[in-house]
Amino acid sequence: MPSSPIIAPSILAADFARLGEEARAVEAAGADWLHVDVMDGHFVPNITLGPDIVKALRPHVKIPFDVHLMIAPADPYLEAFRAAGADLISVHPEAGPHLNRTLKRIRELGAKAGVVFNPSTDPSVIEWMMDDVDLILVMSINPGFGGQSFMRSQLAKIERLRKMIDATGRDIPLEVDGGVTPETAPLCISAGATALVAGTAVFRGGPDRYADNIRALRGG
């Protein structure tokens, strides 16, 4: 595992009137990925953004776009988000009838394929298809809204998924999203996480604070 976690600021916590500037600011501050939360008001109780906004943001930064699809069905929109510039596309097992087929399609499109675990989702859903998974994302809150408190119950799930990843011998990022702060980040890393999504913890205080905020998440 890398000594320093991947930091993926969630654009959902940015100033939506200045998204391009905000994306450039977190990249300059040391962000590794840009996390894009896509919600449809159906699979989760909120509506955020679609492929056109991803496409508009793409020219502003060089870092990978980590697109988390909280939509159902997800399959009809994979091509649009890939064409808009998504480098990693993650879906929930509950968002379609055939998770394996969805992951294969994401890879066919040239993106990396991720699986997202809601707090109640059992890790066993990917046990027999680990070779088709490029990213695992554990939700440490219930998806749909930012600003929720970290669910410590998910630390055991992170540990179990870490063992599953290690057994493959592959370098699959294990990402955590929800309530990640300088206080909870070390818990995630200790449990085996290698990537952290943070919204409020990165964007609080304005652009002058972003570098310090990212450093704090890394334990610096």
The residues that are catalytic are 37, 177
Judged by DSSP in three states, 34 sits in strand
- The verdict on whether residue 146 carries a ligand-binding annotation is yes
- The verdict on whether residue 147 carries a ligand-binding annotation is yes
- The verdict on whether residue 169 carries a ligand-binding annotation is no
Q: Which amino acid is at 102?
A: T
Name the E strands within 22-164: 34-39, 65-70, 88-91, 112-117, 135-139
d(CA 106, CA 1): 25
- The verdict on whether residue 179 carries a ligand-binding annotation is yes
- The verdict on whether residue 199 carries a ligand-binding annotation is yes
d(CA 131, CA 99): 13
- The verdict on whether residue 81 carries a ligand-binding annotation is no
- The verdict on whether residue 145 carries a ligand-binding annotation is yes
Residue 12 DSSP symbol: G
How many C-beta atoms lie closer than 10 Å to residue 172's C-beta? 21
- The verdict on whether residue 68 carries a ligand-binding annotation is yes
d(CA 189, CA 185): 6
Burial group, residue 92, by CB count within 10 angstroms (0-12, 13-18, 19+): buried
d(CA 150, CA 140): 6
- The verdict on whether residue 178 carries a ligand-binding annotation is yes
- The verdict on whether residue 177 carries a ligand-binding annotation is yes
- The verdict on whether residue 10 carries a ligand-binding annotation is yes
Residues 6+ apart with CB under 8 A from 155: 187, 188, 191
Binding site members for a divalent metal cation: 35, 37, 68, 177
Per the annotation, binding residues for substrate are 10, 68, 144-147, 177-179, 199-200
